Amino acid sequence: FGPVDSHVVLRRRPGYVPKVPTTPFRDQVVTLQAISSQEYDPNLTLLYPVRALRVYLERTQLFRHSEQLFVCYGRQQKGKAVSKQRISHWLVDAIRTPYQARGLPCPLGVRAYSTRGVAASAALANGASLTDICRAA
């Protein structure tokens, strides 16, 4: 975390082998900037990524047994690193839940592996450069 939680830097854990190991972005770090005070909206504070990561790390600190960012919170595996499959389920749930909460039909065929493509398309449509999209992927 940066000074006064101005940003957070995310790095891949040592030993991680990406799906495509030859990518030039293999050792890329991701820096998330905090929302500026001019953009601050008290109704949206739970969505601010730097704040959300700070709160998540504080709430998992007492039972955390892994350096990996995401850890299990269930009884049997509590504090251990989350599996790729569990993260996949969380992604799909994060997409489906808002639709269900509003009584809307969820898009057909929502799968965790499709989120990268959808995110890249949305980023491109909103003006992100191809270089930035590749770095984030």
Give yes or no for residue 80 having a pLDDT over 90. Answer: yes
pLDDT at 21: 66
Give yes or no for residue 137 having a pLDDT over 80. Answer: no
pLDDT at 113: 74
Write out pLDDT tens, residues 11-32.
887 777 766 666 666 677 888 8
- Mean pLDDT estimate for the chain: 83
DSSP output for the chain: --GGG-EEEE-PPTT---SSTT-TTTT--EEEEPPPTTT--GGGGGG-HHHHHHHHHHHHTTT---SSS-B--STTTTTSBPPHHHHHHHHHHHHHHHHHHTTPPPPTT--TTHHHHHHHHHHHHTT--HHHHHHH-
